Structure 1
């Protein structure tokens, strides 16, 4: 005999919208406490939830909330993330400037992007409102939503902050990393340069997602010259500023630092999230993979900044990351052609990647 909860789950497919609305609203808390009730009959309730994302806004809101909570389960994640028609619907809805549940769609995508199938976004196309993008590629649409849509500028009911988590997971795939690192035909801009400006944004979510996207993209060693060039991606100021406080440095050190790090205001603060600081230090470590990267960091006095970060941030992960970077910057260079330790350094950083699920 089905339990009362299982009977309630059955009502989300009821033809009467009022009954559907009451049932699904009452089921939201159980998506966290008893997710198994949605896994009956070969995930039939999840199939209904995917359909209800197209329903009236309030029902769709509850359906999305439940799906966000359920996609922490690997079986459900697989079932949702590999549904091509469902993904097509999500992407077509999220770009609409009046979509009331756009941020919930972004949160759901943040979870779905943990499944490898989501990297197929690289090859997806669709029509989109002209005020958003001149491209027909879905990945460009998400990038434009993130940049143009902050603080309700594109859709009054959305800030699209959670798309930063989508980008971070997509950047774990080598083929998608190329997208973030290459100038795009539709606007002539390298996508990572659009993201780097958010490393000190007021939104904790934006800062975290962007920090991880930059770090994951930095595994592409062939792109390091662009990362370090002021005519390319020019990432160093945007990675160093969030880890820099209001410390005073010796004149000799200060004069050699990047212009953006000189004469900082007395109220300058580091990122409040120590995990972001650790991520940025790990990005710097990745960028020491090449001799050019190490030499540049020594030249612009990265070591004093890392030294002060180590002393000021009472966090084991941050201090260990600082120690690893200092060991690289302060060591003597091997003779030409005798360089060692690059693979170990990359693996050391890669093992520390974060993999956070979104819940409502």
Structure 2
């Protein structure tokens, strides 16, 4: 005999909209407390939930919320992420400027990106909304949503911050890294250049996801000249500013730094999240894998900034990352050639966030 709760799950497929609405509203709580009830009958409730995202707005909101919470289960995650028709629906919905649940869809996509097979989104296309200014490549549309969503310029109901986690997880894959570093034909801009400006932003989620995306892209060592070129990505200021506080340096130290790092306001604060600081330092470490990267960091006096970061951020991961980077920056090229320099091999790719998003 089915339990009362199992019967309630069955009511989300009831033909009467009010019955569906009452049932799904009561079930949101159980998507975190008793998620197994949604796995009955070979995941039939998941099939119903995927259909309900097209129901009236309140029912759709609850359906998205439950799917977000349930996607922490690997079986459910793969069921959702491999449903090509459902992916098409939510990708079309998230780009709709009038979609009331665009942020929830962004959170669901952030969870789905943890399934490695989602990297096929790279070749996915759909017609872009007229106001987005994008082409038919879905990833380009998501990047443009993320940029325009920062100030609510596209959809008043959404900021699209969680798309940063989508980019971070997708950028674990070499082909996606190449995408971020490839100038797009429709606007002549590299995707990484569009998102790098958000390393200093009020949203923790946005900053963390962008920092991880930059770091993952930096595993493409052949692209490091592009990362460092002032006329290309010029990534150093966007990495160093978030890890720089209001410390006072002597004139000689200051004058050798990048122009963006000079004459900072007295209230300048480094990023409040030590995990983001660690990510940025590890990106710098990756960029020292080539001699031009090391020479640029030495000539622009990165060392004092790392020294102060080590002193002022009481976090084991940050301090270890700083130690490794300092070993490289303070070694001379002869020592490095002999193997005395620090190694960046221990730096691992980032997944943002390591945990499944829950609502």
- Under a length normalisation based on structure 2, what TM-score does the superposition of the two structures give? 0.97
Residue 184 of structure 2 is matched in structure 1 by 184
Shift of the alpha carbon at 1:341? 8.3
Is the contact between residue 151 and residue 158 of structure 1 (CA under 8 Å) also seen in structure 2? no
* 1:262-287 alpha-carbon deviations (Å, 9 max, x no partner): 01010000011111000000000000
In structure 2, runs of 5+ residues without a counterpart are none
1:83-162 to structure 2, matched below 5 A, reads: 83-162=83-162
Partners in 2 of 1:270 and 1:331 — Cα distance?
A: 26
Q: What count of residue pairs does the alignment treat as equivalent?
A: 358
* 1:314-336 alpha-carbon deviations (Å, 9 max, x no partner): 11111111111111111122379
Shift of the alpha carbon at 1:133? 2.4
Shift of the alpha carbon at 1:153? 1.2
- Under a length normalisation based on structure 1, what TM-score does the superposition of the two structures give? 0.97
Higher relative contact order, structure no. (Cα contacts within 8 Å, ≥ 6 residues apart): 2
SS in structure 2 at match of 1:314: coil
Shift of the alpha carbon at 1:131? 1.0
SS in structure 2 at match of 1:304: helix
Is the contact between residue 110 and residue 162 of structure 1 (CA under 8 Å) also seen in structure 2? yes
In structure 1, runs of 5+ residues without a counterpart are none
Residue 243 of structure 1 is matched in structure 2 by 243
Is the contact between residue 125 and residue 137 of structure 1 (CA under 8 Å) also seen in structure 2? yes
* 1:61-88 alpha-carbon deviations (Å, 9 max, x no partner): 0000000000011111011111100101
SS in structure 2 at match of 1:267: coil
Partners in 1 of 2:285 and 2:310 — Cα distance?
A: 14
Say which of 319, 341, 347 aligns to 1:349.
Answer: 347
Is the contact between residue 133 and residue 140 of structure 1 (CA under 8 Å) also seen in structure 2? no
Is the contact between residue 172 and residue 349 of structure 2 (CA under 8 Å) also seen in structure 1? no
Over the aligned positions, Cα root-mean-square deviation in angstroms equals 1.5
Change (3 A) 1:352 1:50: closer
Residue 207 of structure 2 is matched in structure 1 by 207
1:200-349 to structure 2, matched below 5 A, reads: 200-334=200-334, 338=337, 340=339, 345-349=343-347
Partners in 1 of 2:148 and 2:83 — Cα distance?
A: 28
SS in structure 2 at match of 1:347: coil
Partners in 2 of 1:312 and 1:330 — Cα distance?
A: 20
Partners in 1 of 2:200 and 2:345 — Cα distance?
A: 27
Is the contact between residue 219 and residue 346 of structure 1 (CA under 8 Å) also seen in structure 2? no
* 1:119-150 alpha-carbon deviations (Å, 9 max, x no partner): 11110111121110240111111011001122
SS in structure 1 at match of 2:49: helix
Shift of the alpha carbon at 1:356? 3.0
Is the contact between residue 81 and residue 115 of structure 1 (CA under 8 Å) also seen in structure 2? yes
Change (3 A) 1:335 1:248: closer
Partners in 1 of 2:343 and 2:9 — Cα distance?
A: 50
Residue 164 of structure 1 is matched in structure 2 by 164
Is the contact between residue 218 and residue 224 of structure 2 (CA under 8 Å) also seen in structure 1? yes
* 1:211-268 alpha-carbon deviations (Å, 9 max, x no partner): 0100111100011001011011100000000000000112111001000000101000
Partners in 2 of 1:174 and 1:117 — Cα distance?
A: 13
